[in-house]
Amino acid sequence: MNTPDLPQAHRWFAVECNNRAWDLAAKVGRTPAEDHEMLLAAYAAAYHWSKVGTPLNHMRAEMTLAHAHAQLGQGGESFRYAQNVLDFCAENTCEDWDKAFAHAEMALAAAHMNDHVLHRQQYALAEKLGHAIKDKDDHDVFLAEFARIPAPKK
């Protein structure tokens, strides 16, 4: 019996689970079973990245967790993960899109917690950083996701 290369398997599952979580998060009209799968996929991605990923991969897994929890209306859990991501980007080198997404996730968490001040502040930062993303593909992905975040009330 062939034994798979464990690090390679962890990496494959990390990527697949991460992508599945984000795909489900973007789906309109998710079922309760899909909500559950989205959260499990986000945690599975984080687990597999914890075995083979870099600190940047770990941070991005936490961003996925923030997003999944926000999609379920769990503002407190989303806030905790989004804060970890913001802290990481404040202390480490992150891509321009990482920073934009970090603020977008915090804005989404704040919206679910009905923290209108934080929501407005983080939304504005995410919007500013999102428009400054240099790579066109990354810029387009961010803007598509950002469009799903509720704008602050005026």
The CA distance from 63 to 77, in Å, is 11
pTM strictly above 0.85:
yes
Which of 50, 46, 37 has the alpha carbon at shortest distance from 18?
46
The answer to whether 69 and 82 have CB atoms below 8 angstroms apart is no
* pLDDT above 90: residue 153: no
| Every domain of the chain and the residues it spans | 6-146
* pLDDT above 50: residue 60: yes
Q: How confident is the model at residue 154 (pLDDT cuts 50, 70, 90)?
A: confident
* Residue percentage of the chain with pLDDT more than 70: 97
- The fold of the 6-146 domain, in CATH, is 1.25.40
The answer to whether 24 and 37 have CB atoms below 8 angstroms apart is yes
Q: Which two tokens stand for residue 106?
A: 């915090």
* Residue percentage of the chain with pLDDT more than 90: 96
* pLDDT above 60: residue 20: yes
pLDDT for 1 equals 45
Q: Which two tokens stand for residue 150?
A: 């509720």
